[in-house]
């Protein structure tokens, strides 16, 4: 499929600098652009590439002011990154969608299947499952008893959804993800042995939640582990039992959240963030990569770094002091030497 710059600008509500009739048929990174490709510029550190890229069309923010001549046709939009994502979604939707029920697959006779399903080969759908309209279940997926899956949800190959979990509308569960496995609950005995505590709750994913590949969301001991509307978790993220994650919160790879913690909405966690159990985190909190959050964060919108995590201004001062430790130690040793010399002279 080919699109002209004018068609793209009209679709995105943008303005044009350059040839409105130039055509593109694919996308590319701005640093790897070639004729016929569409690229975008959102991160300022990639700005030098806009003067050398061979891409035919580049999406830029409306306030971008070039310092040198640009060969590509520019489509100016309010948010270039968001506009590029919109175009990628449009391209993905143009592909022929999967449909029908492949064989061999097992679908219990009590399963309720909505309109226009896709169920891939070797999938297993247990008793009393309810599938909404336009659900896509790829090969080798396991869906346990009494699970409910909303409309337009996609579950990719090899994912597992345990019994009685609830998946909302327009959710995406990627390959290898496990939703609803037992929470890590054990009672310690007198002789250092552990008795398993039955995990009788479930997991609830509200609408527009995305679970990354090989991520795990544990079922609650009682009640529900809940990921609210719009939550996105990356590959290899672990959400423990009875956790609640607020709307539109995002977590990068290898983040781990311990049991019964409540996280607010619109939070952002970098890679390998660790969150202790039974704490509360306010709305809009941002945690840098490898932050270790061990206590409540009550102030909305703060940025925390380090382990144990602290607010960014305090952590930066600590990091600056840490970098100067070798020099400070040298000075301290010199002062100790001087003090010893003075003490010796006084004793004489």
Say which residues have a Cβ less than 8 Å from residue 260's Cβ, sequence separation at least 6: 240, 241, 242, 243, 277, 278
- Quick one: DSSP state of residue 290? T
Q: Residue 105 corresponds to which tokens in the numbers above?
A: 């697959």
- Cα distances from 44 to residues 1, 215, 289, in angstroms, run 30, 32, 21
Give catalytic status of residue 241 as yes or no.
yes
Q: Tell me which residue of 298, 246, 242 sits closest to 269, measured CA to CA.
A: 246
Phi-psi region of 248 (alpha: psi -120 to 50; beta: other; left: phi over 0): left
Alpha-carbon 120 to chain mean position: 26
51-79 CB burial, b ≥16 within 10 A, e <16: eebebbbbbbbeebeeeeebebbbbbbee
The single residue of 236, 238, 241, 278 carrying the catalytic annotation is: 241
Contacts by residues 139-148 (CB-CB < 8 Å, ≥ 24 positions apart)? 139/102, 144/180
Residues known to be catalytic: 241
């Amino acid at each position: 499929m080919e699109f002209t710059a004018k068609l793209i600008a009209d679709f995105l509500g943008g303005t044009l600098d350059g040839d409105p009739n130039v055509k593109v048929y694919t996308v590319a990174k701005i640093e790897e652009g070639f004729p016929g490709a569409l690229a975008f510029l959102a991160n300022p550190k990639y700005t030098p590439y806009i003067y050398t890229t061979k891409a035919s069309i580049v999406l830029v923010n409306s306030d971008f002011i070039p310092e040198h001549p640009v060969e590509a046709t520019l489509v100016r939009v309010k948010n270039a990154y968001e506009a590029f994502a919109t175009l990628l979604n449009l391209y993905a939707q143009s592909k022929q969608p999967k449909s029908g029920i492949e064989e061999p697959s097992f679908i219990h006779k009590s399963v309720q299947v909505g309109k226009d399903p896709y169920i891939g080969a070797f999938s297993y759908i247990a008793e009393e499952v309810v599938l909404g309209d336009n659900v896509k279940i790829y090969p080798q997926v396991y869906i346990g008893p009494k699970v409910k899956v909303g409309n337009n949800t996609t579950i990719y190959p090899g994912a597992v959804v345990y019994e009685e979990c609830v998946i909302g509308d327009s959710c995406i569960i990627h390959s290898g993800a496990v939703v609803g496995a037992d929470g890590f609950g054990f009672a310690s005995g007198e002789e250092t042995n552990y008795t398993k505590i039955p995990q009788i709750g479930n997991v609830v994913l509200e609408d527009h939640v995305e679970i990354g590949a090989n991520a795990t969301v544990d079922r609650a001991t009682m009640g529900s582990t809940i990921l609210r509307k719009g939550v996105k978790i990356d590959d290899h993220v672990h959400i423990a039992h009875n956790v609640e994650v607020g709307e539109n919160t995002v977590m990068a790879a290898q983040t781990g959240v311990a049991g019964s913690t409540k996280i607010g909405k619109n939070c952002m966690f970098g890679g390998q963030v660790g969150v202790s159990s039974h704490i509360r985190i306010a709305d809009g909190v941002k945690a840098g990569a490898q932050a270790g959050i061990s206590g409540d964060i009550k102030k909305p919108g703060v940025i925390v770094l380090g382990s144990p995590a602290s607010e960014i201004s305090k952590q930066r001062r600590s990091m600056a002091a840490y970098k100067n430790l070798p020099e400070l130690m040298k000075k301290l040793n010199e002062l100790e030497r001087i003090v010893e010399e003075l003490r010796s002279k006084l004793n004489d």
